[in-house]
Amino acid sequence: MIFRRSQVIIVLVFIVVLNAVGAAGYRWIEGWSWDDALYMTVITTTAVGFHEVHPLTSAGRTWTTFVLGGGLIGLGMWFALVTAAMVRMDLGNNEKRKTMKRLKRIRDHVIVCGVGRMGLQIVHELNHAGQEFVVVERDEEAAESLQRASPQVLILEDDATKDRALVEAGVERAKGLVTCLSEDADNLYVCLTAQHLNPELTVIARAEGKPAIDKMYRAGATHVVSPNVTGAIWVASVLVRPSVAALLNVTAPRHNVSRRIDHATVGAQCALAGKTLDEARIPDVTGLVVIAIRKDGRGHDEVDFNPDKSTELGVGDDVIVLGENEQVRKLRAYLS
C-alpha cells in the first residue's frame, strides 16, 4: 500500500470538515440554502473559478477568503500525500529489487513468518545468535517498524500463506521455518505449504490450544509451541518447583543475562571427532558445563543427558552446554 492509511484519513477528515464548516458559514452569513452554501464552498475550496452563486456581502467575501485559504491547504496536503506516495513507491521498488537479490544468494537460513510479539522475540534471538534469517510479514506498518529498528534484517513484505512468498523467501534452500502468525488456520497452511516445498525443512509452529497442536503436527510441523500452554506450565512450576524455576529463569535468554543453555556442533574437520569427552576437556578449555550430547545433530529426540566422560564425540554431534555467550563462541571455534 503506497498510501498510508492514517495520512489519507487525516486529509479526508480535513476536507470534509472544511466543506461542512464552509457551508455552515455561508448559510449563517448570507442566509443561503444548504445546496447553494455547499456548492459555493466546493467551488471555492477546489479553486475552480466559477462565478459566485449569489452576490456576496462584505462579510461573505471575508469568509470566502478563509474558505479559499483552507481549500488551498487541503489541496497542498493532497498533493504532498500523492508525491510522498510516489517517492515511497519508487524507493520501495528499489528496496524490493535489493531484497530479491539478497534472497537469491541466501541459504541455510531460517524463515520467520509474522513479527508479532512472539515473532519479534524470535528475530531478536536469531540476530543475537548470528543466524541468517528472512522475515515474511504482510502488514506494511509492522514490516517498516522492524526495518527501522533493525535495518540489517532481511524482510519480505508478503503473505506467508501464499506459496509464492515462501518460494521467494528461499524455503527450498532454508534449514528452518518458524510460523507465528496470529491465526491457527494460517499457521496450519504455512506448515502444509512449507513441508510440500521442502520435506527436509525443520518447521516450528505456534498454536493456541491442544486441538490446534495436534493438527500442526499432522500438517508436518517438527515442533509446536503454544504460548498459553507454555505460560501455564511456567507459572505452575514457579509455584510448586521454585528452585527449578529459578534455575530456568537464570538460563533463560534475557537482554541483561549472558548465561544460557546453548549448543555447538562437532565439525567435519574437527580434530576432536572420535575422541572422548575426557580427552576433549571442554570444561577446562572453555569453562562450560556439558549438559548433554545429541548424537548426529539430526534433530531427533534421543539426547544423552549428563554424558559419561568416556562418551565419544562424532562428526555432527551437538554438544549442549551451559555458560556465557563468549564461552559458547569459543566452544564453536574449538569444535569447528
Q: Do domains 5-92 and 258-335 have the same CATH topology?
A: no
pLDDT of res. 3? 61
- Look up the CATH architecture of domain 106-225: 3-Layer(aba) Sandwich (3.40)
CA nearest neighbour of 10 among 80, 59, 62: 80
Residue 295 to residue 269: CA distance in whole angstroms: 17
pLDDT of res. 93? 64
- Look up the CATH architecture of domain 5-92: Orthogonal Bundle (1.10)
Amino acid identity at 124? H
Amino acid identity at 118? M
| CATH class name, domain 258-335 | alpha beta
Q: Per the structure block, which three cell numbers stand in for 198?
A: 521442502
Q: Per the structure block, which three cell numbers stand in for 226?
A: 503454544
Strand partners, 155: 135
Task: List, in order, residues 6 or more apart from 49 with CB less than 8 Å away.
Answer: 43
Question: Mind listing the pLDDT tens digit of every residue in the chain (336 residues)?
Answer: 556 677 788 888 888 998 899 889 888 988 888 988 888 888 888 877 677 788 888 888 888 888 888 888 888 888 888 888 787 776 666 667 777 778 888 889 999 999 988 999 999 989 887 889 999 999 888 888 888 888 888 888 889 999 999 999 999 999 999 999 989 999 999 999 999 999 999 999 999 877 888 899 998 899 999 887 777 877 887 888 887 777 777 666 554 556 788 888 998 888 888 899 999 999 999 999 999 998 875 555 578 888 899 989 988 889 999 888 888 889 999 998
pLDDT of res. 2? 58
Q: Grid coordinates 456581502 are at which residue?
A: 57
- Domain limits of the chain? 5-92, 106-225, 258-335
Q: Could you give the C-alpha distances from 46 to 37, 62, 169, 181, 222, in angstroms and in order?
A: 14, 17, 46, 45, 61
Say if residues 222 and 202 touch (Cβ distance below 8 Å): yes
